[in-house]
Amino acid sequence: MSDYLIRLGQQPALRNVIKSIGLPTPVELARGKGSYDARLLAGKTVLLGAGQNATAVKALEAALSDSGAKPARADKPEPAKGARYDALVFDATGMQSAGELKALYNFFHPVVRRMNRCGRVLVLADHPDKLDDPQRATAARAVEGFVRSVGKEIGKGGSTANLLYVEPGAQDRIEGPLRFFLSEHSAYVDGQPVRISAGGAMPEEVAFSGALKGKVALVTGGARGIGAATARRLAAEGAQVVCLDLPADQETLNATVSEIGGTALPLNITDDSAPRDIAKFLQDKFGGVDIVVHNAGVTRDKTLANMPEKHWDMVLSINLLAILAIDKVLLGDKVINEHGRIICLSSIGGIAGNMGQTNYGATKAGLIGYVQSQSQTLGERSITLNAVAPGFIETRMTAEMPFMIREAGRRMNSLSQGGQPEDVAELITFLSTPGAGGISGNVIRVCGQSLIGA
């Protein structure tokens, strides 16, 4: 759906009028096009800084060079006066005390204004939960507040800021997340702390081009919207995609799979037989599955006092209970292959709650609990499990909202605009790749750093 403020803001004269009456002037975001390239950051100018005890800076330098970026070290030699940058990366790992936080100021203060539009800030820090020393944990946790605040300062230029918490021994798993968060494929992921763990084995070879070649992916609710956008992106990276949706939507489902050369699976996931039917289909046709995207979901909004029991039951059944039942069979029967990926669609509504959505909020929060708990049991098979939590995304549902509510939803984030289904699909696709093998048990929002929720 078209955002009139973005369109008007592209005209200098009208942009000044918009500013004069106090309305936001959002920047049209630079979004990734096509599939990943081995040199995804080719031509990007990146300034790299590090604290005095940083542990990941060598891995960062190597990853930036391999991805085609032009890395410059803030201290070797001092950056050219007036130089501009597409990204600012700082390694804050290894901090021993809160006093070392001054290094963040010293690095960012002189250069933050010299970022190009739609630029990227990425900071690495130790994960505070993995530190026994209170001084070190204090410093590490402080970095998150810094990054979230930076994101709110640079968002008006279409730029984003994100944080990678690097657990001990996970420095060799940085490259995949680095590529994604510095690329245009992460345009609407902003203000997010992402944990990179050392648990589970990484694939012997991590491909960054044709990353999903030979992989089989299942996308539920794949006929339209976020599901269809996800199916297209997974297919673009080389995956064979199975799109599952209701038999009543088979015409739309067939059109989607025809576009991507995929496979249609018309089925109601709430049927008692659905988990076994899905498992049998995947085993018989493909010998298993590598990627499972639980996208199917519904809303039936009413305040709790006015909500019919059938609306409660329907939302719980589709959004949560069916997912748990399907995974129980796919994991129990080992239909999901080693190094598999499971991604659940949660929502900002499961984090912050929404009026009239007690049923929906419960399911989306329940998925977060499921992801954080179940992910701890999957390390032996190197299967990752994560949740993606969209904020305000421009879909048919948001297009039907009353004008003022829709405008509030669009503007209440650091980028002052709604996201696109493709923005959600981009994060799902990254989490499906071999390069995301160090990311499991995370809940990552696609919300432009919404002002609502944590």
Domain residue spans in the chain?
41-196, 216-446
Q: What does the pLDDT read at residue 17?
A: 61
Q: What does the pLDDT read at residue 395?
A: 81
Q: What does the pLDDT read at residue 185?
A: 98
Q: Which residues pair with 188 in a beta bridge?
A: none
Work out whether the CA dihedral 200, 206, 208, 212 comes out positive or negative. Answer: negative
Pick the CATH number of 216-446 from 3.60.15.10, 3.40.50.10800, 3.40.50.720, 2.40.50.140: 3.40.50.720
What is the token pair recorded at 166? 């690097």
How far is it, in rounded angstroms, from Cα 244 to Cα 212?
A: 19
Give me the amino acid identity at 438: G
Strands (E), 221-283: 240-245, 263-266
Largest CA distance in the chain: 67
What is the token pair recorded at 167? 């657990």
Q: Specify the CATH number of the domain 41-196.
A: 3.40.50.720
Fold match, 41-196 / 216-446: yes
Question: How far is C-alpha 165 from the geometric centre of its chain's CA atoms?
Answer: 15
How far is it, in rounded angstroms, from Cα 100 to Cα 247?
A: 59
CA dihedral 319, 320, 326, 328 (to 10 degrees): 170
Angle between helices 57-66 and 175-182 (to 10 degrees): 60
- Residue/partner pairs of 450-454 with CB below 8 Å, 24 or more apart: 450/348, 450/391, 450/392, 450/412, 450/413, 451/412, 451/413, 451/414, 452/348, 452/352, 452/391, 452/412, 453/348, 453/351, 453/352, 454/351, 454/352
Q: Is 360 a catalytic residue?
A: yes
Q: What does the pLDDT read at residue 400?
A: 72
Which residue in the list 36, 85, 360, 370 is annotated as catalytic?
360
Q: Which residues of the chain have pLDDT under 70?
A: 1-2, 4-24, 77-79, 454
Distance (Å) of CA 255 to CA 103, 243, 252, 262: 54, 11, 5, 10
Give me the half-sphere count of Cα atoms (radius 13 Å) on the Cβ side of residue 242.
22
